[in-house]
Amino acid sequence: MSIPFWCVFISALLIYIARAPVAKAMKEQGGYNNHEPRAQQAQLTGLGARAVAAHQNSFEAFMLFAVGVLMAHTTQTQGYLIDLLAIIFVISRVIYLFLYWNDKPSARSAVWVVGILCSLLLMLSPVYRYLVMM
């Protein structure tokens, strides 16, 4: 499996890792409400609320990243730049989670921009592949 595909796999795992502090926060609220977990999560504050938001944002970020990797793959755009963009995306998402959990909004937003740029550049990779081949 290629590096970008491994990065897609890791990014999929990060979606659920992002949610890890939610379980602890729900337990502190009197236990997990399996009847209405989303209503319970909506009442969380602090780390629990930030973890829910990080989890939701991870879904959003994953979609663009996966599409970017697939666009590069289906157009046979390969090489160190594609690998590097995928790796930087994963690293930025790991850092993003820690910054979100630890309530560092400015740094978190800057790291989010890095990740989104990686996704967009992956999506545009067929264009610059074409330009290089001309």
**CATH assignment at residue 116:** 1.20.120.550
pTM for this model (two decimals): 0.91
Q: Write out pLDDT tens, residues 108-118.
A: 999 999 999 99
Which residue has tokens 């959003």? 60
Q: Cα–Cα distance between 26 and 33 in angstroms, integer?
A: 8
Number of domains in the chain: 1
Q: Cα–Cα distance between 108 and 61 in angstroms, integer?
A: 14
Q: What is the DSSP letter of 79?
A: S
Q: Write out pLDDT tens, residues 29-80.
A: 888 888 888 888 899 999 999 999 999 999 999 999 999 999 999 999 888 9
Residue-range definition of the domain harbouring residue 100: 3-133
pLDDT reported for residue 134: 42
Q: Write out pLDDT tens, residues 94-130.
A: 999 999 999 999 999 999 999 999 999 999 998 876 6
